[in-house]
Amino acid sequence: MNIAESHIDKNNNKTHIASCNACKQCAPLGACIAFKGIEGMLPMLHGSQGCATYIRRYLISHFREPMDIASSNFSEETTIFGGNRNFNDGIDNIISQYHPAVIAIASTCLSETIGEDVQRLIYEYKGMHENESDLPEMIFASTPSYQGTHLEGFHEAVFAAIKALSENAGSVGNHINLFCNMISPEDIRHLKEIVEDFAVQSMIFPDYSDTLDSTSWDNYHRISEGGTPVSSLRRSGSAYASVELGYILNSGGMNGRIKENAIKQSAGEYLKAKFAVPLVRTGLPIGLLETDKFFDHVSRISGQPTPQKYKQQRGRLIDLYIDGHKYVSGKRVVIYGEEDLVVALAAFAAEIGIKPMLCASGGESGKLQETLKIVLGDLYPGDMIVGQGFSFDQMEESMRDLNPDLMIGNSKGYYIARKMDIPLIRTGFPIHDRIGAQHTRTLGYEGTTILFEQIVNALLEDKQRKSPIGYKYM
């Protein structure tokens, strides 16, 4: 996605107009990722066919999995007279061809701009088919890209699913809700392993650990197996606690809540307000300190001590920090991507002795700098640049005088890393120029161990490559 940006020349004249590569993707793309975490679901975009095609291609290139996304296929006529007929035809076709348990609908810029009331369209469709007992569940998320990034679209979809399906059974259940943020399928599997080892029953959402990282098939599956069951989403209102990973989450003005003083809610906040489910919020568990916080929360909620295997993982991580400290101490890093990921990576970098020089995100929550100061505490560098709503052009311009040693972020920063001749540690979304993004583990003590080794080895390789004589022993 490109955005327009104005510049002031040396004579203080406003010059037009530079096209820059935004450090974000579109909101319905993020919604489609979250929706893939629902069992038996097919996503549908209420808008043009081009939106669905772009998102399918983008997600397939990252997850290396097939991705079917339906579309109401707006045309010029639909844009003028409304999309209710296309909507109904699209739902009919989805049901007849896919037989989903859930149809998850995300709006696009076009349908939002003309004022389509998708909730009304859903209501009218159900009324037309009220005698049919096997209609799929229908969920709607409002995700125009001019109101947020792909991450906000992701959290809007999580919110919409919980709001549409959650119920209160009248008594407190014996499970927790774990809202895992936009992480890799491998990290979702790791979180499931952790809560199981604490003997905690959990509803993890969204769970696309299988739907976006499946086994090879003998026959094509139109809807992949896996995902959070609808029955689990329904009982989210009777959980004895919710845990959300991320400090910023859905703060960019989704759900149509962009007016001044309007209330913004995450899924956990909604359940707390609606059903009095206690909410615990912590950051993405990357690095020693943030992972300690996560394990402390789970231990307190479960009433169980941290299992020995994680204590050993923690001990091995500390030993690795000691082994590699001399190679990372004093290095300078540029970190970019989704806001909560940037916060977690910056905290991790600071605790291992790498100085974050620039933390940039396409997100526009207005909370990034404040959150970084709170999470990093005394490790917050006073001269660090924090960029909200940044493009890659702005990022490159800001980096000219920073002299960074490496970058941590997604594949879209590769051209800057190549131009500056520094290593890029690929993390987050999207990763299009390497294979295995769906298997990347970043969370927990083990994920941090992997990330630390990647950083140290990338710095060593860079030093070897640039040495006039080379060396083979460090």
Pairwise CA distance, residues 474 & 465, whole Å? 13
Retrieve residue 33's tokens.
């990722």
pLDDT tens-digit map of 384-402? 999 999 999 999 999 999 9
How many other C-beta atoms lie within 10 A of the C-beta of residue 76? 7
pLDDT tens-digit map of 255-313? 434 444 445 789 999 999 999 999 999 999 999 999 999 999 999 999 999 999 999 99
Pairwise CA distance, residues 419 & 132, whole Å? 60
Q: What is the DSSP letter of 456?
A: H
Helix (H, G, I), strand (E, B) or coil at 234: helix
Q: What is the largest CA-CA distance in the chain?
A: 79
pLDDT tens-digit map of 101-122? 999 999 998 888 888 899 999 9
Pairwise CA distance, residues 339 & 353, whole Å? 21
Q: Are 302 and 310 in contact (CB under 8 A)?
A: no
Angstrom CA distances, 30 to 58, 66, 150, stand at 11, 16, 4
pLDDT at 404 over 50: yes
Pairwise CA distance, residues 446 & 314, whole Å? 8
Looking only at the bridges linking them, the beta strands covering 2-8 and 14-21 are antiparallel
Banded model confidence at residue 146, pLDDT cuts 50, 70, 90 = confident
Retrieve residue 457's tokens.
């080895």
Q: Are 337 and 183 in contact (CB under 8 A)?
A: no
Burial class (CB in 10 A: 0-12, 13-18, 19+), 29: buried
pLDDT at 170: 81
Helix segments in 82-149, DSSP class H: 84-98, 109-113, 118-128
Task: Work out the average pLDDT over 159-171.
Answer: 92
Enumerate domains of the chain plus CATH numbers: 27-255+264-282 (3.40.50.1980), 309-466 (3.40.50.1980)
Angstrom CA distances, 87 to 27, 31, 71, 357, stand at 20, 18, 8, 48
pLDDT tens-digit map of 176-191? 999 999 999 999 999 9
- Angle of helix 444-466 relative to helix 185-197, nearest 10 degrees, comes to 140
Q: Are 399 and 420 in contact (CB under 8 A)?
A: yes
Angstrom CA distances, 104 to 40, 140, 184, 226, stand at 10, 6, 21, 16
Q: Are 387 and 359 in contact (CB under 8 A)?
A: yes
Q: For 107-128, b where at least 16 C-beta lie within 10 A, e where not — what string?
A: bbbbbbeeebebeebbeebeee
Is the preceding omega at residue 206 within 30 degrees of 0, hence cis?
yes
pLDDT tens-digit map of 5-30? 434 344 333 333 444 788 899 999 99
Looking only at the bridges linking them, the beta strands covering 137-141 and 102-107 are parallel
> What residue has token string 């290593």?
423
Pairwise CA distance, residues 201 & 180, whole Å? 15
Question: What distance lies between CA 349 and its chain's CA centroid?
Answer: 20
- pTM equals 0.92
Retrieve residue 233's tokens.
């989403």
CA dihedral (328, 334, 340, 343) in degrees, to 10, reads 50
Mean pLDDT, the chain, integer: 90
pLDDT at 5: 44
